Amino acid sequence: MLTRKQHELLRFIQTRLDETGISPSFEEMKDALDLKSKSGVHRLISALEERGFIRRLPNRARALEVLRRADEGGQAAPAAGSNVIPFTKPEAATPASAPDVIEIPLHGRIAAGVPIEALEDQAILPVPAALLGAGEHYALEVSGDSMIEAGILDGDFALVKRTEIANDGEIVVALVRGEEATLKYLRRENGMIRLDPANAAYEPQIYAADEIKVQGKLAGLLRRYFH
């Protein structure tokens, strides 16, 4: 059974997906549920994911999918085509535990425009555990605007799962000629590697296969808001 806030969030996500096809942002979810901070949203998302009601889509920023809805009796039921997720009778509030935080290495800035030299300086970035799946992760600060159509903005922190294997169409950290790193869509074409931006103002970058080494795949994003 779900709590009232979990029901509200599930209904809000489902309605937004039905109306626009795009998951709401954490800021929008916080405002919709009248929560004081986004840490409350992280806890609710984690709870819904653990219970099998939603899942995060890999390699897509801010992407959620509703798998099940709550029926009127409060039991889990397969999601149907309806926009409306009915409420159950509100349960007594239970104290929420503090969100789990994982510290991962922060390796400087990575280009999302043209490739730049990857910085080796290492710091630590605390990340909500709900944003990461299994495996080893690290973070890079995004520089440039060539991935804005994928929802990746200048100054974002790219959360990267460390791997040397990637499929066509995935967003990867690509090491170019052993010295420059860039964040792009990876595609293989006629024995070559094409690194595609997500901004019509930029051209794809094409390299020989031995000039590119995959260093990780995008697993999530963190964004700072300045006032």
Task: Measure CA 136 to chain center.
Answer: 16
Residue 189, H or E segment: strand 180-189
Query: Catalytic positions, please?
Result: 146, 184
Q: d(Cα 13, Cα 83) in Å, to the nearest integer? A: 10
Count of other CB atoms within 10 angstroms of residue 79: 16
| Residue reference for tokens 């999302």 | 112
Q: Are strands 137-143 and 101-111 parallel, antiparallel or unpaired?
A: parallel
**Can you tell me the distance from the alpha carbon of 175 to that of 115, in angstroms, rounded to the nearest whole number?**
9
Sign for the pseudo-dihedral over CA of 109, 28, 151, 165: positive
